[in-house]
């Protein structure tokens, strides 16, 4: 809940800026000015850089004993209070083959937020540049060495933070939306953030979280560019990329062995990381045939699933389907598999924050991938696994993590109603004009009203327009598709293989 509230806050006031939402209350104490944060670059185009607060400060990794105390300004940032509504209205009258029906609906998800009067603290950057001009980084410091060894992480400095000035509470309410005459229900959650002026706590909620005063809810960082002699630069311009000198990285070759990209090529100021060729703007109002490269790349990434026994694939599929209703589990899995792919031991303490049933399901998935999990405090034990299987599982989980919570829930309904084969056929067989004949046998499931609504809703949440005409279905991207259509295609390809839809053939011409 805390992560959702802070993420929404940053999205509302600084969606394209430098502010980073705090994802955990436990990180608040670590995010002091001049504290060090590691930034991990992602290797897949839809992922955002991952920031991880540390327990170290700039003072502790510099040579010399002189204290660094730049002036700190403390000012009123803003009063954040409001009620935001996300409305999606739809109305259509359709004659689909021999079935006629009308579809009308309006979904409203409300976020009520009131963090109250927020303060901003930041240090004097000019003064910091002067006092650190002749100081160098202690390259033998254990923390610096470990970050350098990972090769895909860089060091950053907290330069400002936004904090609460009074006690707040975050409450989560669950409601049921009924669709299509009440035959289909979808659980949605309403998140509310409110200031407790009189010390009272909200009672009419499923879950309530108290936020004390002086809690950091957002921060920004300055990246460090560290040279081989220990001298460093503060990257003051957005196009200036931090990192370690190539000579330092060459001395630490035992680091990351994963498929994610490393920022080592960014030391010259140019982003040369080898991201996917699919990192592009998806054209608007275009046939889904434009996503063919994404589908081909996904098929290649998921090829290792073909090496798994069919029983294990089906078990993975069932677990993924169950996780669709638990966004926090997907987030935990993404972090855990990310660390495993980097040959690190994941932090399993997060399992304690999950429901006991879901924690057990996570252990089952890890076991299928070749890792046994004795307990939440211990480390994972590697049994029999291959990096390719782990990468495929990580690729699918990361794509799921890029989807919205509502998209995941609707996708879960698609799995329950068994219309995945139809959706998979649709994205793989759309022609240049985006029109599929209505009499195509693969489209028969969509003649049922509930099935069509579910498919329509899933596609709409993925910025895809699903239009029904008298004799055909038209599928095109909407006016601002972003990368959401690509993520849906990736997920549907992975689910198709795991569920057996396209497991028995490797011939693309016969895959449906």
pLDDT in tens, 307-317: 899 999 999 99
Query: What is the predicted pLDDT for the residue at 491?
Result: 96
Query: What is the predicted pLDDT for the residue at 376?
Result: 55
Tens-place pLDDT, residues 76-102? 887 655 444 444 443 333 333 333 333
Query: What is the predicted pLDDT for the residue at 24?
Result: 85
Residues 188-205 have a mean pLDDT of 58
| 488 shares a domain with 437 | yes
Higher-scoring residue by pLDDT: 344, 149: 149
Of the chain, the percentage scoring pLDDT greater than 70 comes to 75
| 419 shares a domain with 296 | yes
* Mean model confidence pLDDT for the chain: 79
Residues 437-443 have a mean pLDDT of 87
Residue (of 267, 291, 227, 216) closest to 41 by Cα position: 267
Tens-place pLDDT, residues 224-264? 999 999 999 999 888 888 999 887 776 655 433 333 333 22
Phi and psi based region of residue 214 (left: phi greater than 0; alpha: psi -120 to 50; beta: remaining): left
pLDDT tier for residue 320 given thresholds of 50, 70 and 90: very high
| 134 shares a domain with 253 | yes
| 299 shares a domain with 259 | no
Residues 474-482 have a mean pLDDT of 90
Find tokens 């009063």 and name the residue: 79
| 373 shares a domain with 247 | no
| 329 shares a domain with 397 | yes
Residue 103 lies in a domain: no
Residue 71 lies in a domain: yes
Higher-scoring residue by pLDDT: 46, 206: 46
Give the total number of structural domains in the chain: 2
Query: What is the predicted pLDDT for the residue at 189?
Result: 64
| 243 shares a domain with 333 | no
217 three-class SS: strand
Of the chain, the percentage scoring pLDDT greater than 90 comes to 36
**Helical H runs in 402-436?**
405-416, 420-428
Residue (of 59, 203, 75) closest to 131 by Cα position: 59
**Helical H runs in 141-245?**
142-150
Higher-scoring residue by pLDDT: 145, 348: 145
Residue 102 lies in a domain: no
| 299 shares a domain with 229 | no
Interatomic CA distance for residues 310 and 322, integer angstroms: 19
For the cut 90, the answer to whether the pLDDT of residue 277 exceeds it is no
Residue 443 lies in a domain: yes
Higher-scoring residue by pLDDT: 185, 45: 45
Residue 277 lies in a domain: no
| 149 shares a domain with 227 | yes
For the cut 70, the answer to whether the pLDDT of residue 395 exceeds it is yes
Domain of 469, in residue numbers = 288-510
pLDDT tier for residue 48 given thresholds of 50, 70 and 90: confident
Residue 92 lies in a domain: no
Containing 123, the helix (H) or strand (E) segment is strand 99-123
Most confident of the following: 16-20, 31-35, 269-273: 31-35
Interatomic CA distance for residues 511 and 500, integer angstroms: 11
326 three-class SS: coil
For the cut 70, the answer to whether the pLDDT of residue 150 exceeds it is yes
Residue 453 lies in a domain: yes
The CA–CA distances, whole Å, from 377 to 57, 342, 345, 347, 348 equal 27, 20, 12, 8, 6
| 378 shares a domain with 239 | no
| 475 shares a domain with 366 | yes
Higher-scoring residue by pLDDT: 172, 271: 172
Residue ending a domain, among 268, 301, 331, is 268
| 362 shares a domain with 224 | no
Higher-scoring residue by pLDDT: 342, 338: 338
CB neighbour class for 185 (10 Å; exposed up to 12, middle 13-18, buried from 19): exposed
Handedness of CA 382, 384, 387, 388 (dihedral sign): negative
Residue 172 lies in a domain: no
Higher-scoring residue by pLDDT: 334, 355: 334
């Amino acid at each position: 809940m805390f992560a959702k509230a802070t993420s929404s806050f940053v999205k509302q006031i600084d969606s394209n800026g430098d502010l980073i939402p705090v994802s955990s209350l436990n990180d608040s104490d670590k995010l002091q000015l001049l504290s060090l944060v590691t930034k991990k670059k992602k290797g897949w185009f839809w992922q955002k850089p991952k920031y991880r607060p540390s327990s170290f400060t700039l003072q502790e990794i510099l040579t010399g004993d002189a204290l660094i105390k730049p002036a700190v300004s403390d000012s009123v940032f803003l009063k954040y209070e409001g009620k935001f509504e996300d409305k999606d209205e739809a109305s259509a009258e359709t004659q689909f083959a021999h079935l006629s029906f009308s579809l009308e609906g309006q979904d409203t998800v409300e976020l009520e937020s009131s963090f109250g009067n927020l303060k901003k603290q930041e240090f004097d950057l000019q003064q910091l540049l002067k006092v650190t001009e002749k100081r160098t980084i202690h390259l033998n410091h254990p923390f610096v060495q470990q970050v350098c060894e990972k090769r895909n992480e860089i060091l950053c400095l907290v330069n400002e933070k936004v904090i609460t000035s009074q006690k707040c509470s975050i409450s989560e309410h669950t409601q049921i939306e009924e669709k299509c005459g009440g035959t289909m229900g979808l659980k949605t959650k309403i998140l509310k953030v409110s200031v407790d002026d009189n010390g009272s706590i909200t009672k009419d909620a499923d879950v309530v979280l108290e936020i004390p005063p002086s809690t950091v809810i957002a921060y920004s960082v300055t990246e460090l560019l560290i040279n081989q002699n220990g001298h460093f630069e503060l990257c003051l311009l957005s196009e200036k990329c931090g990192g370690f000198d190539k000579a330092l990285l060459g001395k630490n070759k035992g680091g990351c062995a994963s498929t994610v990209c490393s920022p080592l090529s960014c030391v010259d100021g140019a982003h040369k990381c080898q991201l996917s060729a699919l990192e592009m703007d998806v054209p608007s109002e275009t046939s889904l045939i434009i996503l063919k490269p994404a589908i081909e790349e996904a098929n290649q990434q998921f090829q290792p699933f073909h090496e798994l026994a069919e029983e294990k694939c089906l078990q993975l599929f069932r677990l993924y389907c169950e996780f669709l209703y638990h966004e926090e589990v997907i987030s935990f899995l993404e972090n855990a598999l990310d660390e495993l792919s980097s040959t690190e031991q994941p932090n399993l303490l997060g399992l304690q924050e999950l429901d006991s049933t879901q924690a057990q399901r996570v252990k089952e998935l890890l076991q299928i991938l070749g890792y046994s999990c004795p307990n939440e405090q211990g480390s994972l034990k590697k049994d029999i696994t291959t990096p390719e299987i782990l990468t495929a599982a990580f690729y699918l989980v990361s794509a799921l993590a890029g989807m919205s919570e509502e998209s995941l829930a609707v996708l879960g309904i698609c799995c329950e109603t068994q219309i995945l084969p139809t959706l998979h056929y649709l994205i793989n067989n759309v022609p240049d004009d985006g029109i599929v004949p209505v009499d195509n046998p693969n489209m028969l499931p969509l003649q049922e009203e509930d099935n069509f609504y579910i498919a329509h809703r899933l596609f709409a949440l993925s910025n895809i327009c699903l239009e029904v005409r008298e004799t055909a279905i038209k599928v095109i991207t909407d006016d601002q598709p972003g990368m959401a259509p690509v993520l849906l295609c990736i997920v549907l390809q992975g689910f198709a293989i795991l569920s057996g839809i396209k497991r028995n053939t490797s011939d693309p011409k016969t895959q449906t």
